[in-house]
Structure formats: C-alpha cells, structure tokens
Structure 1
Amino acid sequence: MLPAQSLLIVVPTLNSHPLLPRLLASLQQQTWPHWQLLFIDGPSGVQHRQWLQRCCAAEPRCRWVEQDPAEPGIFGAMNQGFAAAGPADWLLFWGSDDWAASPTVLAAALAALEQPEVASGTAPPEPLPDLLVCSGRYVAADGQLSRPTAFRPTAFWPTAFRPFAGSHSQARLDAAAYRRALWLGSTPPHQATLVGPGARRHLARYAPGFRLSADLDYFLQLSRHRDLQVRCLDLELVHMAAGGISGQQTQRRLQEVRRAYRRAFGGLWWFPFLARYLRRLLSLLEATR
C-alpha cells in the first residue's frame, strides 16, 4: 500500500561526505520509511562522488545527480530539487550538516498531512496546507542545543495563530495572517518547512541573485497569494550544525535580507527588517537568562 503522502528531501552537497552519514542514519532510523533522498552535487572531488555512489547503491531510497552549471550555488541546487519533485511530492530542503531530530519526526509531520476518510453527509476535512512549518534547533560543536527556531507567536504578535479545535499542537494561518507574521519579522526556517504542491503551483523556484537569503525571499513572495494556507506544527523536526557559511557573511546577508523585504513590501521594507533583528536580539537576551 502506498503512503498517503510522499516526501522528497533535497540535499545540496559539495565535498561534504564526512557530514552525510549522520544525516543518512537519522533518516534510516525513521519509523516512517517512505522518504526519498536526492543529493544534488556540485563539482565535488573523487572521494565525495565515490561516497555518493556507494550510498545510493546500498540505499534504494537515495539517488544523486550532478548540479547544473546553469543553476549555481546552494539555491541553484535547490531549484533543481524543485524541478525534480513529482506533482504530489512534499519537499524538504536540508544541508549536509542537518539531521532528523528524532526517529519519529517524519511520522509526526506526515501524520499532520493525512486527511481522514469522510462519511457521507459530513463536512469535508480541512484542505491540505501549502506549507507545513515545524521548528528546528541549532547544535554547537560541543553538542549543546540552542533555543529552537520556529515560526510561532511571540510577544510581538501573540494572536497570530488560530489553533485547530481540540488540538494544542497544530495551528493554521490564512494568507493575511501569514503575511502579517512576515511583516512582524517572523520567518519559517526552510530546513523545518515542508513545501507542498500548492506552494509550488504558486512559486516553484528561488529567485536569482540571492546567495544566502533566497529562502526568505521565497516565503515573502508566497505571501502575495491570497489563497495560501499555512499549517504550523509544534514539532522539532531537524537539528542543524551551528556556524554555517551564512553566519560568516553578515554584510551580504543584511543586504540580501533588505532586498527581500523591499521586493515584498516596497518602501516600508525597514519595518519588517528591524522587527526581524529585534526579535533575534530579544531571543538572545532570553537565552542568556
């Protein structure tokens, strides 16, 4: 029997094979076994390519392709992932240094997308969302967990979510509420956000010109679609290694974040820009208490 949902996990790689066994093992331990893993490899060396070949030969749920030179950079590789997805696939974009937070996280995430059978004469179930947003957590080199990163209400906007009846773990945002959340500086973490077929019908690739913040721009551009539906799940889906390249290019990231907000909000870009970094400052202050 085929699973109700299919999940394609896309991982751009470049000579990162020492990190990949942890990612792969975290998926092979999942209680929900129907995932597919696609490595999109840049111009890596022989040792890395040999690892990919051995991995894909041993694990039938894995495959790899070379990155198209016409799609450079990490987000170019991720655009190939968009193109590789089937019409019913859910997409999850991870880095080589990401891994599943526990063996049950995929089962919990995909269970949130199951639609129960409806008896004759009863109201239809809620339609599937376009995005399923979970949370992630950064892990330092010493194994210390940081505060989780998530798209969830804060002191800026405590009424952002409308919980489902009888549930304390799921909530939904319509298009207007989603855009207000972005306006107030909140952003879904792409490593913990499942991109559904509905979102890809609206927008099926990252914009060019962004090396570090194409994911922010993608979520902002999605907010222009008035029929967008976002479901939020109180689930720590992924662990991410702290200290990636984006953290080492602060000036470029600030420029790209400003550009993304300007594309979404025009001359009022400065408000969500300041709100984003004020939120981060408050989060850091709270973490030190």
Structure 2
Amino acid sequence: MRVSIVIACLNGGAVLARCLDSIAGQTFTDIEVIVADGASSDGSTEILHRYSEAFGAALVWFSEPDRGIADAWNKAVVRATGDWLLFIGSDDALASPTVIADAVSRLALADQDCRIAYGRVLLVDDAGRVQEILGRSWSARDFRSCRFNLPHQGVFHRRVLFEGGARFDTSYSIVSDFDFLLRELMFAEPMDIGDLVVCRMRVGGISNRPQWAPRGIAEQIRLYRSHVGGMSPILYWDMAKAWIKVALWLLGGDALVSSARGIYRGRSLRAIRPPVRKES
C-alpha cells in the first residue's frame, strides 16, 4: 500500500522544513509527497530543492500561481499514485514517526467500498501546547446537517475517489474539504480509525483564524442550502457566535479568544455533566 501526502504551500518557508521532516522520519517508507506551491516568494522553493535530494523520486513538487487551497489540491491529485491520499498544510506536522504505519495497518482492514477513513488531529499553539483534539465518533446526522466536519488533516481518501473526475470546489475558500466529503458521504459511511492522532495542526490556519470565522460559517450555510436545502437556525446562531469571536479578537487578540473559548466550554460541560450523587 502506498500513501500520497499532499501539501498545499504558499510562503510557508518558516514551517515547511518541519512538515517535511515529520514525513521523512516515518517508519513506513512507501510514501509519496506532493507539494503544490502557489508561487511562493519567501524561499519555499529553495527548501523544496534541498529536500528533493533527500526524498528523491518520492517528492514531487511544482510552483505556480493558483486560486487557493482547493485549486492547489486539484492540481496535486492528478499527480498522485498512492492508494490513499492525505492532505495537510505546510504548517502541519505528522503526529509521530509511526503514525503512517499505524494508519496503514488500520486502512488495510477497510472494506473495498469504503473510500474515506479518518483519525484525530491535535490543534496546537506555536509552542506545541495542545489546544484541542479535533475529531470524534461518526455521526451521520450531525455531519449531513453541516454541524460536524471530519478533521481534514486526519482524513485518508482512496485515490479512486478522484479517478472519476471528482475535484474540490474552488469557489469555497475555507470549507472546500467539507463540500467534497459531503458529496461522498451523504449516502456512504466513513471508517473511523479510532483514537489515532494523525497530525498536529498549528493554530493560525485559515480554518481556525477568528477573523475568518464569519466567512467560514457563511460557507457552511451555503453548504447546507446546497446539500440539505432550506435554512438552518443552528448555523445562523453559529454565525452570531462567529462575529462575537471576531469582536473578542479585535479587543484582545488570540489570547482573549482562547480564554473565552475555555470558559464557554467549561460551562457547557458543567451544563451536561450529571450531578454527583452523595452517599448518605
């Protein structure tokens, strides 16, 4: 089994080497790396030239202008030769040296008609401290109502998905992965490969920046209308929370947003936690 790891990169020179090192250190060796660089001007291509010597033919890369992450992914998938594809960003890193070997052992158990499998992703800050664990057990209802997405840096896609011409919709700047998965999983089921942490995703990516939250929810509302139909009051409430997040970010930056998130989650957990029965 071969795994293709697709990396979308634009001026990621400060973090790209760490990402590539996390792949180079894998115990599983049948890995193909495809880097879609969007004509970076910060030295990213020089880094790719340097790593080409270490990876050899296992590293395929190109650098040209694109229309965003979805466009970069679409250019990469036509070059992929792996049985399964994993999409990560240049500021992400594989979680451990054995993660691909562990994933392959689980993917080998997937039914032939299973075309999506997923694990977990750690959201970490610049110091490497874990902020959140992304991913949970599959819920068809939550997913198909656009309330829950699979953690994309932990999602493995069978290459056969793309052989029929399926591509990421470039009109979405934030949730093109969600749209792609919805098209596949509206009537199919993914394989949950359990608590395997596939990737460490750094805070600050386009999908988790507070200032981009309203746009992300607006795109989710569009997803709901496209795939489900009608209106979703819950998503409109999420839009209100997204604007609150922007206001907090403008007032106090990421630190205030993080503190508010912790307080909100703490209260939510207390609200659903059953009371402790005291023994008489």
Scaled to the shorter chain, the TM-score interval is 0.7 to 0.9
The residue that corresponds to 1:211 in the other structure is 173
Q: Following the alignment from structure 2 to structure 1, what is the Cα–Cα distance between the partners of residues 45 and 111?
A: 44
The residue that corresponds to 1:144 in the other structure is 129
TM-score, length basis structure 2: 0.77
Q: Per-residue deviation at 1:270?
A: 4.0
Q: 2:225 aligned with 1:230, yes or no?
A: no
Give the structure with the higher percent helix. 2
For structure 1, the residue ranges without an aligned partner over 5 or more in a row are 116-124, 154-159, 161-177
Question: Stretches of 4+ moved more than 6 A in 1?
Answer: 275-278
Q: CA RMSD in A?
A: 2.9
Q: Per-residue deviation at 1:260?
A: 1.3
Q: 1:91 to 1:256 in 2, by over 3 A?
A: same
Q: Aligned with 1:78: secondary structure?
A: helix
Conserved in 2, the CA contact under 8 Å of 1:10 and 1:91? Answer: yes
Equivalent pairs counted in the alignment come to 246
Greater relative contact order, per chain length (Cα 8 Å cut-off, separation 6+): 1
Q: 2:104 aligned with 1:110, yes or no?
A: yes
Q: Following the alignment from structure 1 to structure 2, what is the Cα–Cα distance between the partners of residues 182 and 17?
A: 37
Q: 2:62 aligned with 1:62, yes or no?
A: no
- Matching of residues 1-289 of structure 1 within 5 Å: 5-45=1-41, 47-60=43-56, 61-67=58-64, 69=65, 71-86=66-81, 89-114=83-108, 126-127=111-112, 129-152=114-137, 160=139, 178=140, 181-183=143-145, 185-200=147-162, 204-224=166-186, 226=187, 228-234=188-194, 235-246=196-207, 247=209, 248-271=211-234, 285-286=265-266
Q: Per-residue deviation at 1:152?
A: 1.6
| Percent of paired sites with the same residue | 26
Q: Following the alignment from structure 1 to structure 2, what is the Cα–Cα distance between the partners of residues 231 and 277?
A: 33
- 1:248-289 CA deviation, whole Å, 9 max, x = no partner? 3122212111111211111044456768999xx799514997
Q: Per-residue deviation at 1:201?
A: 5.1
Q: Following the alignment from structure 1 to structure 2, what is the Cα–Cα distance between the partners of residues 84 and 273?
A: 39
Q: Aligned with 2:198: secondary structure?
A: strand
Q: Which amino acid aligns with 2:206?
A: I
Q: 1:284 to 1:98 in 2, by over 3 A?
A: farther
Q: Per-residue deviation at 1:180?
A: 5.5
